[in-house]
A = this chain, B = another copy of it.
Amino acid sequence: MRPGKSRCMERSAHMALALDAAREAAQRGEVPVGAVVVSPEGRVLAVRGNETRATHDPSAHAEVQAIRAACAMLGQERLPGASLYVTLEPCAACAGVIAAARIARLYYGASDPKSGGTEHGARVFSHPQAHHTPEIYAGIAEREAEALLRAFFQVRRG
- Measured CB to CB, the residues of A under 8 A from B are 52-53, 55-59, 64, 67-68, 71-72, 74-78, 91-97, 99-101, 114-117, 120-124, 127-131
Q: Tell me how far the C-beta of A133 lies from the nearest C-beta in chain B, rounded to whole angstroms.
A: 12
- Return the contact of A95 from the options B76, B92, B123 (Cβ within 8 A): B92
> In the assembled complex, which residues on chain B have CB atoms less than 8 Å from the CB atom of A114?
129
Q: How far is the CA of A55 from the CA of B100 in the complex (A)?
A: 14
Which residue, of A95, A124, A129, A131, has the highest number of chain B Cβ atoms within 10 A? A129
- Return the contact of A96 from the options B68, B93, B130 (Cβ within 8 A): B93
- Return the contact of A117 from the options B68, B120, B124 (Cβ within 8 A): B124
